[in-house]
Amino acid sequence: MIFNAFIDLIEKKGFDNITIQDIADKAMINRSTFYAHFKDKQDVYEQIFSFILNPLFKKLEQDILEDGSIIQKQKLVELLTTAFLMIKENKKFYLIATEGRNNLILTDAFSDFLRNHYTKIFAKLRIEEDDIVMPTDFIISYMISTFMGTIHWWLHSDFKLPPEHMAHLIIKLLHNGNLTVLGVKVKK
């Protein structure tokens, strides 16, 4: 209830203009109940990211690689479709999370997830161009910024394309660039 109230209030008033009393009133609780769970509104702000992102990351944790470098296209479509459905279900959160400084928090969360979960892929990675080794952090940053831009567009287009269609578009973009560079093959 507190998270929902908080998101609604941010959408209407902005973070800086929200008070603890506003949150308590909107969530229909008293201030002492609020303080039993959170230190302040910044604490709510930080915890809400974990609360909403953890289920998404749990879905994305599935091991989709076969033989170390092959992805079944249908598995990837299902995984990304689920991710887009979860983003759609939490539209208010993602609209707020993809704006301004919030975008940095969300970007960092996705970057950390990729680094931690797909270390095997990135550990094998060595891309050189004219004797310059491309840093792994750069590649991750590029992939995340592409994904974040896609999410931002999709949210602001009011879900112009259905989740499964978005999944296919992402795969097409990734397959033609990022996955090929990483040495990952998409198998039909």
Q: Which pLDDT value is given to residue 162?
A: 96
Q: Which pLDDT value is given to residue 18?
A: 93
Average pLDDT, whole number, for the chain?
83
Which range (1-15, 116-130, 170-184) has the least confidence?
170-184
- pLDDT for 28 beyond 80: yes
Tokens at 73, concatenated: 């296209």
Say how many C-beta atoms besides its own lie within 10 A of residue 7's C-beta. 21
Region 35-46: what's the mean pLDDT? 92
- pLDDT for 163 beyond 90: yes
Tokens at 107, concatenated: 């970007």
Q: Residue 131 — very low, low, confident or very high, per pLDDT cuts 50/70/90?
A: confident
Q: Which pLDDT value is given to residue 60?
A: 76
Where are the domains positioned within the chain? 67-182
Q: Which pLDDT value is given to residue 165?
A: 94
For residue 10, the Cα-to-chain-centroid distance in whole angstroms is: 19
Q: Residue 139 — very low, low, confident or very high, per pLDDT cuts 50/70/90?
A: confident
Q: What residues have CB less than 8 Å from 128, skipping those under 6 apart?
A: 134
Q: Residue 19 — very low, low, confident or very high, per pLDDT cuts 50/70/90?
A: very high
Q: What is the pLDDT of residues 83-104, one digit of tens each?
A: 999 999 999 999 988 888 888 8
Q: Which pLDDT value is given to residue 152?
A: 93
Residue corresponding to tokens 């941010």: 10
Task: Please state, for a pLDDT cut of 70, what percent of the chain lies above it.
Answer: 79
Residue corresponding to tokens 């590029």: 142
Q: Which pLDDT value is given to residue 38?
A: 95
- pLDDT for 134 beyond 80: no
**Where do runs of H (alpha helix) occur along 90-187?**
91-97, 100-117, 119-124, 136-156, 163-176, 178-181
Q: Which pLDDT value is given to residue 64?
A: 62
Region 148-177: what's the mean pLDDT? 87
